[in-house]
Structure 1
Amino acid sequence: MGLTIAIIGRPNVGKSTLFNRLVGKRLAIVDDTPGVTRDRREAMGSLGHYKFKIIDTAGLEEGKEASLSARMWQQTEKAIAEADFSLFMIDARAGVTPLDKHFAELLRRGNHPMILLANKAEGRAGQEGLYDAFSLGLGEPIPVSAEHGEGLADLIEAFDEKIRELGIDVDADGEEEVTSFSVAIEGEVSEEDEAASEILDNSQPLQMAIVGRPNVGKSTLVNRILGEERQITGPEAGLTRDTIGVSFDYEGREIRMFDTAGLRRKAKVQEKLEKLSVADTIRALNFAEVVVLMIDATMPFERQDLSIASLIVQEGRALVLALNKYDLIENRQEVLKDIAEKLEHTLPQVKGIPVVPISALTGRGIDKLMPAVFEAYRLWNRRISTSKLNRWLAETTEYHPAPSVSGRRIKMRYMTQVKTRPPTFAIFCNRSKDVADSYQRYLMNELRWDFELPGVPIRILLRSGDNPYHKKK
């Protein structure tokens, strides 16, 4: 049976620091600003011989109904209900606060099993707060330092005791969840490889990131796809700060979906916390396979939208545009035409990016979004046989030869696909450095058109020399 543990406590006591410590890498944003974490974040963690799912939660605060604090508390309640037991954390240096006492009483009344942690207990400064923690009535506090990794041996013993007390059957040797993978195909691609490439590996989760400007509806879309209020949503801009990954099954295929913080123009990003959020979003693009760029149909298609799209293409990711709030506009065809023209002008290297009109709030169009994601993923993994590529190269260069340089012809001798994800091709020719950029764009456009590769980035690498496989033949 898998073990699930939630970390709870008031803001700024070190929950995300402990989360990163148990996961073994920096996943959650850590900052001195209280209330950095708002949504609950999940990952696979380990401590000693235990492996478990660990949930980082928002700081416990009271708030009026429908307020941001109340919505954050609702997410924490869901994490507590899901967990086998919780780690209730206080700041030993700050001592036991009225908020600590208030939520300890609520949790005690709810009979939630938990282990009490006194964080930041290193040195004399934390001793008084450690002793005060006994007053919470949650048992003996475990002194730890999440930042420096102190007290983890005592925490393992507390795990042993709590698991025996609750009678939990835990597989301590379980395997950690695989969250990312990559495939690179080097060298010549055969006809058999091309046919096999159409049968994609469904044993690994498809990595999908949702990005866009602040307040365009990214978290609302995540909740709509999942069918539950998994992410905090509301009228406030910038609610999502961390990149939150959630797994779900869509028609028999496992998806790992990442909700990200909104991306504003670089000049407007001044605060340190927002810079951390933006950096977290950029990292999400590095391990995503398909990126859904959300655009607000009620707002003009801005330069920032194009900048984000350009960044996705530069990273070599498959791209799908989700046009949100499409049901709120009247001149729908004009909006679609405007977007298509701007994409054509700004990103000519990825012609044919799919645009899916949706309403994240009502669910309209969501049934068309996921098929578009799967199709973009299929094209992103597309492989083409070497024989087909060379026939294409001969016909294309005969119809439109590369411009001569200083009276000397440029001869395109051989072509092969060297990798997928995105499709990358090598062309061997006699004067690779002299091939004009315009001719490279011509080859890319013809390649995209003839082999039906709309909307995905294509890489063409020009190499000097003859057919590298000539001697092998």
Structure 2
Amino acid sequence: MDLPTVAIVGRPNVGKSTLFNRLVGRKLALVDDRPGVTRDRREGEGFIGDVAFRVIDTAGLEEADADSLLGRMRAQTEAAILEADAVLFVIDARAGVLPSDRPFAELVRRSGCPVILIANKAEGGAGMAGAYDAFSLGLGDPIPFSAEHGEGLGSLQDALREVLPEPDDEEEDEEGGKGLRVAIVGRPNAGKSTLINRMIGEERLLVGPEAGITRDSISLDWEWRGRRIKLHDTAGMRRRARIDDKLEKLAVSDGLRAVRFAEVVVVLLDATIPFEKQDLTIVDLVESEGRALVIGLNKWDLVADQPGLLKSLREDCTRLLPQVRGVSVVPLSGLAGEGIDKLMQAVVDASEVWSRRVSTARINAWLTDALQRNPPPAVSGRRIKIRYATQVKSRPPHFALFGNQLDALPKSYTRYLVNGLREAFDLPGTPIRLSLRTSKNPFDKS
């Protein structure tokens, strides 16, 4: 299969070769603190998750006479840009945008090739100011990244998936594409295996009235309305204090791994005894892991004759689970095969919300309005200032606020902002992360 081509470009010593090594999974390119180590174009097969591509490491772009060594290195880089399906333009987030970055940003922009702006060396949020400065290059939203530590790979995967050519269906089938990863979790005997058997149309998983039959996290390939789905059935999760069997401890940890590797998690509740304390704990775990979430009310056929019950349970969900406000609550019956289409549509919708990106301009227009309606409180006589905001990644949506004294912002105000983001940008039910970046005061000598 012919892979799309991605070229890594930027001025010297911004970490291009470290990024190349990270993408190919091996230390193929020489890396050193000195600029100009890379001279020839180096190629390898890169991948992030299920996105595969041919990646080219290039020499640092520098102004030079065409006949000189530096000039020939630049010509090699320009040839790589012409050959590429996408360009990763790398800057040093800690140094910020330098004058030497700008002519090469213009060169990349004129090429007409899709450009992904990488603000490298931003580990631990250290280069967020420089990352924000990168907006001035006019190459779109920068991805805060650390090639050294692998931070930002999820955001880069999303960006590459948007700009690279799609492989055709035959090639995807031959490669065994992973599809949307969905984990089904819940308390013992909530009906997880029965539901999956009904979904795939065969008695693939052992089921019965006894709790705890499933011990392994079972992975199954399935297709729903032409979409590839990888289903993970997991062992029932009980409170840790009640687990004394070694095998069950292993099974529960296997279920936790399934949650971490899933994109969407369906928390299956028993509709006859919903929202038990353990159900709430499981939802809290899914939210803390940052996964997209759907709540399934299984065994609905046993309670469907109770008028107003669904409305009441959805109100209970809003009250008991404010951290995932707006999450889809779907009634279904795994045994009768009812509600599965509605459940899967909710899963696909949750995945789309989880992956959503919002432009910086829209976020700051919302922020201006939110601050006018409810200004931040004052601390020690000085009002907290929030200057701007941006989305730093998706899956789940993660926003950063920049300003002064943000470490003193009350939790009630951050909740106000998170709820505002959720409502303004249609982010129901998904975990939302909010980072606070306080600007340093240049006059503070302490």
Shorter-chain TM band: 0.5 to 0.7
User: 1: CA distance between counterparts of 2:253 and 2:231?
Assistant: 18
Partner residue in 2 for 1:451: 425
Partner residue in 1 for 2:369: 395
One-letter amino acid of the counterpart of residue 217, structure 1: G
Find out whether 1:233 has 2:207 as its counterpart: yes
RMSD of equivalent CA atoms: 3.3
- SS class of match (2:334): coil
One-letter amino acid of the counterpart of residue 268, structure 1: R
Partner residue in 2 for 1:249: 223
Unaligned 5+ segments in structure 2 are 1-47, 53-116, 120-130, 143-157, 167-171, 441-446
Aligned-pair CA distance for 1:296: 0.8
Contact 1:306 1:343 in 2 (8 A): no
Counterparts of 1:204-283 in structure 2 under 5 Å? 204-283=178-257
One-letter amino acid of the counterpart of residue 336, structure 2: T
Partner residue in 1 for 2:153: none
Residues 226, 303 of structure 1: alpha-carbon distance in 2 compared, 3 angstrom cutoff: same
- Residues 26-57 of structure 1: per-residue CA shift (max 9 Å, x gap): xxxxxxxxxxxxxxxxxxxxxxxxxxxxxxxx
Contact 1:298 1:328 in 2 (8 A): yes
Q: TM-score, normalised by structure 2?
A: 0.60
Partner residue in 1 for 2:351: 377
Residues 193, 461 of structure 1: alpha-carbon distance in 2 compared, 3 angstrom cutoff: closer
One-letter amino acid of the counterpart of residue 326, structure 1: W
Q: Identical aligned pairs, as a percentage?
A: 51
Which of 259, 263, 268 is residue 289 of structure 1 equivalent to?
263
- SS class of match (1:237): coil
Find out whether 1:419 has 2:393 as its counterpart: yes
Q: Which has the higher contact order (CA 8 A, sep 6+)?
A: 1
- Residues 253-297 of structure 1: per-residue CA shift (max 9 Å, x gap): 211110000011222111111111111111111111100011111
Residues 271, 196 of structure 1: alpha-carbon distance in 2 compared, 3 angstrom cutoff: closer
User: 2: CA distance between counterparts of 1:455 and 1:432?
Assistant: 26
Contact 2:178 2:230 in 1 (8 A): no
User: 1: CA distance between counterparts of 2:356 and 2:328?
Assistant: 17
Partner residue in 2 for 1:367: 341
User: 2: CA distance between counterparts of 1:230 and 1:297?
Assistant: 24
User: 2: CA distance between counterparts of 1:222 and 1:291?
Assistant: 14
- Residues 280-318 of structure 1: per-residue CA shift (max 9 Å, x gap): 111111111100011111224311111111111111111
- Residues 53-75 of structure 1: per-residue CA shift (max 9 Å, x gap): xxxxxxxxxxxxxxxxxxxxxxx
Unaligned 5+ segments in structure 1 are 1-177, 467-473
Which of structure 1's runs of 4+ aligned residues deviate more than 2 A?
178-182, 184-204, 330-347
Which of 423, 432, 436 is residue 406 of structure 2 equivalent to?
432
User: 1: CA distance between counterparts of 2:49 and 2:211?
Assistant: 29
User: 1: CA distance between counterparts of 2:160 and 2:353?
Assistant: 10
Aligned-pair CA distance for 1:227: 0.9
Find out whether 1:315 has 2:289 as its counterpart: yes
User: 1: CA distance between counterparts of 2:409 and 2:186?
Assistant: 36
Aligned-pair CA distance for 1:346: 3.0
Contact 1:292 1:320 in 2 (8 A): yes
Aligned-pair CA distance for 1:339: 3.0
